[in-house]
Structure formats: structure tokens, C-alpha cells
Structure 1
């Protein structure tokens, strides 16, 4: 697991992998800049009460609210944008470390969009449901956070990488046969997601990380003929 993570970070030396990081950050910054400008214009152009000082206060508070919301959701937005380019990251990892693999299955952009949105909605919904625990249960909140998000992130990144190499039934059978590795990898990804600035690298590093995790799981299961991965 540690070796897989080290190799994942080392993959950032690849210019094409770094390009995916910058695309995610740039597009997200552009989207939030447009949001901030639009929100600022809407607030200033729409007097809500007719009292100057109250409307000015609302404008300031609304602007601050937009900035806080942008800060909280920025890493998730970077991840959503980057998800459309993660196939390239996985390809670079496979070409560098597993050159003997056959050509992968290609997913259409509609499938990638649906997967990215489904995952984003699921993560937001589950974490909002757990929000009372995060706020009112110190100590337990960390356990709940890393357990929930470790499972979700581990499953999502594992399936994203595995579906390139096998059908859904085989991928799920592999994950259920050895659930600990994807889960622990997901906990590592969840932890990295909580570190400022490092969380911007998470989509790319997590994708590269999970390629190595998948390949480490494939050898024992291949002996039992439960997967179609070929080296």
C-alpha cells in the first residue's frame, strides 16, 4: 500500500499527468470566478429592502457566503472536472508500470459525466446526512468521516480503474473478495482530501494509486480465475 502511494505521487513527474491537475484547478477557478462575479452583480443590482445600509450589509454577507461556499466545494469541483481526464492518468500509469496490459475498454463522455455526477451527489448526500455527527460528536466524528468516505472513495476509484479491464460483475467480485485493500486505499484518499492544497492533487494521485492497488489484487485472484486482467 505504501509503495503504491509513493508510485502514485511519483507519477506527478509526468507532464501529461500534471496537465490534468492544472486543467481541473483552472476550470474550477474560472467557474468560481464567474459565480462570484454573477452573485456580486445580482446582489448589488437587486435592492432587497430599500434601506441602503441593510442592503449593503446583505451584499457583503452574501459575497462572503459565496467565498466560503466556493472554498468548501472547490476540492470537490476540481475532482469533478478532473474526472473527465482521469483516463489519461490511468493510461500513463499503466504504460509506465504495466506495459503488457491489453487495450482497455473505452467509456463514452456521457457515461463519464453520469458517473462523476452520481458520485458527487452521493458523497454530498451521505456527508450531509452525517453532519450532526460531525458537529456534535467530537472524536467519533473523525471515525465516521473516514469510514464513510474511505468506503465511498475506495469503491469509486476502484471501480473506475477496474471497469477499464473487466466487466462490472468481475470488478465487484474482486472488490468483495478482498474488500480491505480498496477500503484502506479509500481511507488514505479521504485523509489526503482533508489536507489543504494537497487535496487539489487527490483526483490524479488517487487514480494512479488505485491502479497499483488493483494490480496488486489481481495476481492472487487471477490464480483462482475470478478476473480477466492479463499481464
Structure 2
């Protein structure tokens, strides 16, 4: 468990690196642009529907003010992680170069098609598992905190897997067995996922959380690989 705080500390210290800052800027910019597009789409869509019923289209603005922040709160983790998948290699490579130069020489950057496939698969998993969690959260709504805990656990599992796979896929070769063979422990992955899922609920901190998590996940994976090679 102590590996997770150490990985997060190292990842945070590297946020000022140029390579990491570039990814941070691109991922934040694209994520916000997607939500801006969503906001515009919601506004014009609602305006058309409201006006078709003979009401003032200005009500669409009020509805968008309510619905778009709600959509951002519900979908931010999913969209931000899907966007980060396209630039994950850059974050992982920066951590490898600074902390694990021997492993960096054996890494195999992922082609764009595989990055796209991983992003789509991750997006589908996130949407699927969160939808499956909805009935459970609904049953616990009377507890107040129950639904939040359900989604925290679900997203901790999902994020822990995605954030460590970003590094592992550069070292494991092709194949679906990569996920099963991920050397980062399940407890470490869950704890990392829980921390990042929590950070993504915090204003502003949520913008850097995916990149911070990707860097920390890289440390968890490459630390284990270093140990395995040393013991070989």
C-alpha cells in the first residue's frame, strides 16, 4: 500500500516537466471543448423542442445551465480518461525517461489505432459498469452516502485498471492477456483508482487528476517490472 503514496508523490513532482505539461494542456483543452460542444448542443436542442411546443426558447438557456453542469459531474471521469488515452504514451514515456531509463529502452509505443481501440474499450467499460451500478445506487439512496460510495468503488476499480494499463501495454506486447498479467497489485490499483476518482470530484484538481494518475500508475507498474528483472 505504501507504494501508492510514493507513486503519487513522484507523479506530482513531475507535473512541471514540459512533456507532462503538454499532455496536461492538450487533455484539459480537448475535454473542456467537448463539454462546451455538449453545452451548445443541449442548448440548441432544447430551444428547438421548447419552441416547437410554442414556448419561449429562452427557457432552454435556463435548462442548459442546470443540465450541463450535471452532465459534467456525471461524465467528467469517463470523458477525461477517454481523452487521456490518446496521449497516455507521452506521459508514460516521460516517467520512463526520468525514473526508469533501462525499461524505457525496451518499451514499444502504441500505434494510434491501438490507442483509439483502448480509448473506445475504456469508454465502453466505464459507461457499462456505471450503468450497472445505477440500480445498486438507487437501492441505497435512502442512506444518503450509499450511492456515492457505490460509484466511488466502481470508478476506483475502473480507473486503477486503466491508469496502470497505460504503462503496462508498452511493455507486455500485444494481446488481450495484458490486462490479466498487469504486474501492479489489485490493492495498489484500487487505492490509486480511489484517490484519482476522489480528486476528479474536486474543482480544478479534477483537471489534473487523470494525468497525475497516469504518471502514478506508470510508477506502480515499472517499479514491479524493475523488481522482477532484478530477481530474474
Place the TM-score, normalised by the shorter chain, in its bin.
0.7 to 0.9
**CA separation of 1:156 and 1:43: change in aligned 2, threshold 3 A:** closer
Q: Could you say what the CA RMSD is over the residues aligned between the two structures, in angstroms?
A: 2.7
Equivalent of 1:49 in 33, 50, 53: 53
Equivalent of 2:27 in 11, 16, 24: 24
Q: Give the stretch that moved more between structures: 36-45 or 26-35.
A: 36-45
1:172 maps to 180
2:155 maps to 149
Q: TM-score, normalised by structure 1?
A: 0.81
* Equivalent runs, 1:1-231 vs 2, <5 Å: 1=3, 2-45=5-48, 47-50=51-54, 52-53=55-56, 56-57=58-59, 60-62=62-64, 64-101=66-103, 102-135=105-138, 136=141, 137-167=143-173, 168=175, 169=177, 172-175=180-183, 178-222=185-229
Post-superposition CA distance 1:190-209 (Å, at most 9, x none): 22222222111122111110
Structure 1 residue 81: deviation in Å?
1.9
Q: TM-score, normalised by structure 2?
A: 0.81
Moved over 4 A (4+): none
Instruction: State how far apart, in whole Å, the 1-side matches of 2:160 and 2:31 are.
Output: 24
**CA separation of 1:64 and 1:217: change in aligned 2, threshold 3 A:** same
Structure 1 residue 174: deviation in Å?
4.5
Q: Which has the larger radius of gyration?
A: 1
Q: Give the stretch that moved more between structures: 60-69 or 4-13.
A: 60-69
**CA separation of 1:132 and 1:224: change in aligned 2, threshold 3 A:** same
Structure 1: gaps spanning 5 or more residues: 226-231
Instruction: State how far apart, in whole Å, the 1-side matches of 2:153 and 2:43 are.
Output: 38
- The 3-state SS of whatever aligns with 2:86 is helix
Structure 2: gaps spanning 5 or more residues: none
